[in-house]
Amino acid sequence: MNSAVNKPVLLTVDDDPGVSRAVARDLRRRYGEGHRVVRASSGQEALEALRELKLRGEQVAAMLADYRMPEMNGIEFLEQAMDLFPRARRALLTAYADTDAAIQAINLVDVDHYLLKPWDPPEEKLYPVVDALIETWRGSGATAVEEIKIVGHRWSAPTYAARDFLARNAVPYRYYTIDEPEGRRLLEAAGADPTEIPVVITTDGQALLAPSDARIASAVGLTVDPATDFYDLIVVGGGPAGLGSAVYGASEGLRTVLVERQAAGGQAGTSSRIENYLGFPDGVSGAQLTDRARRQAVKFGAEMLTARDVVALEVQGSARVVRFGDGSTISAHAVILATGVDYRSLMAPGCDDLTGRGVFYGSANTEAPECVGRDVYIVGGANSAGQAAVFFSRHARSVTLVVRGESLHSSMSHYLIQQLEAIENVHVRTCTTVGEASGDEHLEKIRLDHVDGATELVETSHLFIFIGAQPQTDWLDGVVERDERGFIWTGPDLLVDGERPAGWQLDRDPFYLESSVPGVFVAGDVRAQSVKRVASAVGEGAMAVTLVHRYLEEQ
């Protein structure tokens, strides 16, 4: 990281090159150690420099502007500069003749000081003024923080998606809305207009306008490109099953790459508290658990690609080829499919339209601060919905679980039901579904339909959906055998009346976690008949690696 970035800037702008050099020289001599002196020869040039500093997250302590400059005078410059750095202190360089200008400046741009040219000796005429400017600036509480920034809007679905992507990848950022002054300043500095949100500003000052996940990922330093084109093992999916495979694969000497479409952690990464995972008697947040697993995989040498969507699997002789969304490919001796499941869409009218603008799938933890003092609704009766209810009850005024069934007992663990019963602001509405969602800019109302025909319109800005789970395996159609819902058959389940799957040419049955294609294994929730739990996904991930070894021995 550039150490100069942490030094507050003193900016001087003067169209006379001789004067400009002299000011900069005098400033450097006295303040060079603790400050960076930036010099410009016109108002436009200085504004450009300020925009760049803004994007880089640097701080400007003071600006010294000459009054008499062609095109843009010092006051006009300071007026615009204040839009970018309102806390930077301001001084105008004037000649005696310009007293009018001085008066105008007071009214317009709240100038702190006038410096009469020439200012020799600087010890008497320049430094006391600049000392005062810096002292006032320090007193204003401005501090330099280097961080990724997102500028967006509360009810913008792409803004939510970008924030969620960074949060799930454990990349810290600061969020600004375009309704607040600093958000508008950053937008201006990026040269963006409000239709181009979100704007993601990296620590080195790049401004990305409405970027894709992949663009954000590479700009913030996540690995998106494979280091080579051939591996021993490709793992598709970075949930607990994929992470389990990556840890065991890499630790047992296989050249392993894991490809994840969004963020390592999968569904488990979105769980606010996993209470039933072995070895964590006090529970553990899903993000913490899966982040440790990710680091463990990396420690053993697994490569982790983020924001890469696998769209095809091909068999080329003994190679198993995985194709990415952009058409590029990587190959390996063996593949483990660990792509898990996604939430089913709620088909009620209005939901599709309001997704990301009040309707959210999964826990959407980044929304927690927005829920303070509000009445939020959660659809679903399984553990994931129960955990979310516990989590949001700490933020919202009330949380209502909307459950289709007659009770939670058939779908939720006993310990969670007990926890929910003990929380005062959590309510459960059974035999009820969400019939419609409505709102203009964002979600405002939902209609609750009771099984007996009664309906009720309730006001809410947040609806979190945790219904059903479906595998996203259409891209494997015709490649591996799947059940009617898209879950992938493996091992003994592939044998029909003792017959091996069509096209199977090996002189043995498929191994326990092997698909209908030799060398392609399946672990976790995406596997037909699997147990939908973190522990079993991790276990299957590890076991699949053992079977990969067995398969490789045959080759």
Ligand X SMILES: Cc1cc2nc3c(=O)[nH]c(=O)nc-3n(C[C@H](O)[C@H](O)[C@H](O)COP(=O)(O)OP(=O)(O)OC[C@H]3O[C@@H](n4cnc5c(N)ncnc54)[C@H](O)[C@@H]3O)c2cc1C
Residues that bind ligand X (CB under 6 A): 236-242, 259-262, 266-268, 270-271, 274-276, 309-310, 338-341, 363, 383-384, 387, 472, 524-526, 532-535, 537
| Minimum CB distance to ligand X, residue 138 (Å) | 46
Q: Which is nearer to ligand X, 41 or 419 (CB)?
A: 419
Tokens representing 320 are: 């198993």
| Minimum CB distance to ligand X, residue 534 (Å) | 4
How many Cα atoms are found within 13 Å in the side-chain-facing hemisphere of 324?
20
Inter-residue contact 12 to 133 (CB < 8 Å): no
Tokens representing 516 are: 């209908």
Q: In the chain, how long is the greatest CA-to-CA distance? A: 103
Q: Which is nearer to ligand X, 136 or 470 (CB)?
A: 470
| Minimum CB distance to ligand X, residue 527 (Å) | 8
| Minimum CB distance to ligand X, residue 326 (Å) | 13
How many CB atoms within 10 Å of residue 448? 18
- The closest alpha carbon to 479, from 497, 495, 503, 498, belongs to 503
Query: Rounded distance, CA 377 to CA 65, Å?
Result: 55
| Minimum CB distance to ligand X, residue 247 (Å) | 12
| Minimum CB distance to ligand X, residue 471 (Å) | 8
Q: Which is nearer to ligand X, 338 or 408 (CB)?
A: 338
Q: Which is nearer to ligand X, 183 or 381 (CB)?
A: 381
Q: Which is nearer to ligand X, 464 or 504 (CB)?
A: 464
Q: Which is nearer to ligand X, 156 or 306 (CB)?
A: 306
Contacting residues for 124 by C-beta, under 8 A, at least 6 apart? none
Q: Which is nearer to ligand X, 88 or 274 (CB)?
A: 274
| Minimum CB distance to ligand X, residue 484 (Å) | 19
Inter-residue contact 99 to 86 (CB < 8 Å): no
| Minimum CB distance to ligand X, residue 532 (Å) | 4
Amino acid present at 472: Q
| Minimum CB distance to ligand X, residue 11 (Å) | 45
Q: Provide the Cα torsion 265, 268, 272, 278; round to 10°.
A: -110
Q: Which is nearer to ligand X, 154 or 532 (CB)?
A: 532
List alpha helices for 239-379, DSSP H. Answer: 240-251, 286-299, 351-354
Amino acid present at 492: P
- Burial of residue 552 (number of CB atoms within 10 Å: 0-12, 13-18, 19+): middle
Q: Which is nearer to ligand X, 15 or 291 (CB)?
A: 291
Phi first, then psi: give them for residue 359, nearest 5 degrees. Answer: -105, 125
Per 3-state DSSP, what percentage of the chain is helix, strand, and coil (rounded to 5)? Answer: 35, 25, 40
Inter-residue contact 261 to 222 (CB < 8 Å): no
| Minimum CB distance to ligand X, residue 193 (Å) | 32
Q: Which is nearer to ligand X, 233 or 274 (CB)?
A: 274
Give strand pairing partners of 336.
235, 521
Contacting residues for 160 by C-beta, under 8 A, at least 6 apart? 356, 357, 360, 364, 366, 367
